[in-house]
Structures are given as structure tokens and as C-alpha cells.
Structure 1
Amino acid sequence: MRAARFPDHTDTDHTNTDHTNADHTNADPAGLARAASLAGRAGWTAQGGMPGPAGAGDRPGATVWVSPVRAAWQTAAAMGLEAREAPALREADCGRWGGLTYEQVAREEPEALAGWLADPHAAPHGGESLAALAERVGDWLEAVRESPTRPEAVTGRAQPGMVAGAVPSEVVVICDVGVIRAALGHALGLDPPSAARFDIAPLSFTELTVTRTGWRVAHVNRKVLSWSTPTRSARSSGSMT
């Protein structure tokens, strides 16, 4: 987001934990400091997690997922969270546009960019369409709604015979803006262009709660943290700080 560019495969390498590196694939140090502060307000601590028998690095009863992006992993670490990776929560594959700035693509391929913006099924860059992203995230949400701790939730597709079991009170997700908008679109039945109209700020919180028939939106883009404890919910935080 800081570089105003399309994501590429280098963003997914979270083995580099050097926060002093100023390149575009890392969360910036100031953002990570804010994430640690945010964790404290939520009842977490940056080191050691929630006090008491719940154990370190996790909110009691919560399952924490991160998208396969370096900045998401860094944000989770700053918040003291022990997270699991969900490949289905990666941003859309931007094909040959990956790593290019929006300005460069607009200058060199204006018609292709206009077509991509207008048609959610278009993928002029040779990668993944926004409609495909929306379907992938929607599949993952439905898998998690059935059973958030099962391995199927990682793949993003519910498997036949899955039975809803002991569901944690919360599912916490740290991911990027495109995935959060896709999740909102799935919850509200919106197409990708309509979902793209949501403003999602870095380190903001969006909360979806589970209903018998799907999802209800509790809040969007909340910048001042105020944790409630719904029976079953999924919270997403923008991770590119």
C-alpha cells in the first residue's frame, strides 16, 4: 500500500523478519509499534500473550489465522499472537502486473487497467480475477463457519461430511484490504466492484458474526478498538502498515 503497487510473490516470503529493512515487503516499524499497542488494548500483550491459564500469545478461545504475506506475519508477531497460515487469504494473483506500480500500469496499459477495474471477471494481467478472489475468500469463510480449527479451513473449501463442532468464540484474521473487502462482499451478497467501495484503513478492525444462515456485519473499519465478545465471530485486521 505504501508503494501504491500491485502485490507480487516477494510479499509472501515471511522468513525475513528484519524489521529494519525499509523495502515494500515489510511492515514499517512505526506500524508494528502501533500493532503492539493495539494488542495491549485488546487484552493481549506484545510478549507473552494473555495472562492466566489461557497460555501465551493467544486470546482465550480464539483461533488466529494470517494470510501468507510477510507483513501479516510481522503484525501477528507484534501483537504476540501465535497464528496459523491460511493460503486462501492471499491477495489476488496479479500476474505480470505483480510488483508494478499502479501509475506504471495506468500509463503503459490504460485499456487493460480500465477493463480490469470495470469487469470483476477480467484478468488481463494473466493472473486471478477479482471474482475468483471473492469466490476463494467466500469458500474459506464458509469452511471456517462450519469448523474453524479443521485443516479444511486452510484450503478454503468445505469438505463433504464436515460437521460443526466445538467452535471457538472468536476467529481472528490478519490480512490485506482486498481479502477484507471480499469477505464483506460475501457476507452482504455484493459483487467485487460494490465491495471495493468499502474504505479499509491499516490496523483497522472489521467484524463479522455468524448467523444460522450466513454472516452479519458487526462493524467495518473500526480504528478505535472496543472488543465485545460475541458468541461466534470473525475479525479481520488490515495488515499492511
Structure 2
Amino acid sequence: MTGTSLRLVAHGHTAALRRARFGGADEGLDEGGLRAALARAGSDRRGHSSADDTCLSSPAAAATQTASALGLRPTVETALANCDYGDWTGRAFEEIAHDHPQALHEWLSTPDAAPHGGESVAALRDRIGRWLDGQRTGGGRIIAVTHPLVIRVAIVHALDLPLATYRQLDVEPLAIVRLTSQGARWQLRLGAARAHTPA
């Protein structure tokens, strides 16, 4: 059986990430995020995706811009979209903590909760989990540019960890997580990585 190699690439910095805000789909990279993505692409001259690779991206502007900066031409995949933060979209974490402390505590402590009226972390796990399960047996090499929270939850699903474990994972902008599968399950593969190559 041909194995599947999946690289999950976190998009670059946005204003929301820098200011601890709940970001929306229309927000693009900030100036520093774009520079960092371009620098990452330029630092590895061997880094070219193969014609055999499948390149995918969240629909969010930050993800598609990161993919472009890395020299990729992805197909938008809605399953890779960020968590829907509902009424909290665009608002600062500190603002929510001040105005709705109990709701924020509920969201942080209970993965099934969605007090903002959007998507719970459990619902996000179900969405990205279905997508991951569908890729596991397909074979080939996939590069997917998405959001830090999506990657954290994807790791939890891939390794069959308790959902609350996602809080203990930190995924920085432009970080790369590689998962491999021979069909039965995902394995987390650690090692030297290049941002936009599948090898």
C-alpha cells in the first residue's frame, strides 16, 4: 500500500494572532507575516512542490496568502477552515474576558461549548477528523496550509488523544507538522522540515 504523507503548515502572522484576537476568514497576513513566509520560501532553494503533490488551503486569506508566498498553488478545502468564533470574531481575548468571563471560561474548559454561537472545539475536531480520516488511505503527498488551532486539534485526532490535550499544544505561525500513514493510523513524524516541500 502506498503511504500518505501529510504536511500541515500553519499560516503566517496576522494582526489577530499578534493581538490575541479571535480572527476571521477575511483577515490576511500582516506585513511581518508576509515577509516571514517569503523568507521561509527563499531560505530553501530546493523547496519546490512536485507535480504529484496535492496542495490544499483553508479558505481564509491568511492561509491562501501563505501558500502563495511559499510558492504553492493550492486548492481551497473548506474542511481546513478556522474555527467559527461566532459573535467573538474580531474581538480581543481580553475584551471577551472582561465582558463575558463565564462564557470564556466555559469555552476554554468545555470542548463541547460554543457560547459565542459559532463552532465548538469538539465540532472542529469532528470536521477536521473526518477530513483526516479521508486522507489516511488515499496515498500520495499532501501539503495543507491552515490555522494553528486547526493543526492542534488535528494532532489530537490523529494521535487519538483526549480532546482537552489540544490546550497543551502550541503551534506557531509557519510551523510544520508532518503526519504519515500506511492506512491504519496516523503517525507524527518529527525531524528537520521545510515549509513548502513534501519530502
- Above 0.5 in TM-score? yes
The one-letter amino acid of 1:88's match is A
For residues 176 and 59 of structure 2, the distance between their equivalents in structure 1, rounded to whole angstroms, comes to: 19
Which residue of 19, 23, 36 maps to 1:7? 23
For residues 70 and 200 of structure 1, the distance between their equivalents in structure 2, rounded to whole angstroms, comes to: 19
Structure 1 residue 3: Cα displacement: 2.4
Q: TM-score under structure 1 normalisation?
A: 0.69
- 1:34-68 per-residue CA deviation (whole Å, 9 max, x = no partner) reads 22232241623xxxxx4xxxxxxx43421111011
| Higher share of residues assigned helix | 2
Aligned equivalent of 1:72:
63
For residues 173 and 212 of structure 1, the distance between their equivalents in structure 2, rounded to whole angstroms, comes to: 19
- 1:80-135 per-residue CA deviation (whole Å, 9 max, x = no partner) reads 11100110111111111111110000001101110111110011111111000001
Which residue of 138, 141, 144 maps to 2:129? 138
For residues 56 and 45 of structure 2, the distance between their equivalents in structure 1, rounded to whole angstroms, comes to: 17
Aligned equivalent of 2:100:
109
CA separation of 1:211 and 1:217: change in aligned 2, threshold 3 A? same
The one-letter amino acid of 1:177's match is P
Which residue of 150, 156, 172 maps to 2:143? 172
Higher Cα Rg: structure 1 or 2? 1
- 1:133-161 per-residue CA deviation (whole Å, 9 max, x = no partner) reads 001001001112233xxxxxxxxxxxxxx
CA separation of 1:228 and 1:217: change in aligned 2, threshold 3 A? same
Q: TM-score under structure 2 normalisation?
A: 0.83
Aligned equivalent of 1:202:
173
Unaligned stretches of 5+ residues in structure 1:
13-24, 45-49, 51-57, 148-166, 230-241
- The percent of aligned pairs where both chains have the same amino acid is 36
CA separation of 1:177 and 1:228: change in aligned 2, threshold 3 A? closer
The runs of at least 4 consecutive aligned structure 1 residues that moved more than 6 Å come to none
Unaligned stretches of 5+ residues in structure 2:
1-16
CA separation of 1:42 and 1:197: change in aligned 2, threshold 3 A? farther
Contact (CA 8 Å) 2:132, 2:158: kept in 1 or not? no
Aligned equivalent of 1:96:
87
Aligned equivalent of 1:31:
33
Report the RMSD for the aligned CA atoms in angstroms.
2.1
State the SS of the aligned residue for 2:65: helix
State the SS of the aligned residue for 2:56: strand
Question: Which has the larger displacement, 198-207 or 33-42?
Answer: 33-42
Aligned equivalent of 1:188:
159
Aligned equivalent of 2:11:
none
For residues 228 and 112 of structure 1, the distance between their equivalents in structure 2, rounded to whole angstroms, comes to: 41
* Corresponding residue pairs, total: 181
- Select the structure with the greater relative contact order (CA < 8 A; seq sep ≥ 6): 2
Aligned equivalent of 1:217:
188
For residues 92 and 26 of structure 1, the distance between their equivalents in structure 2, rounded to whole angstroms, comes to: 16
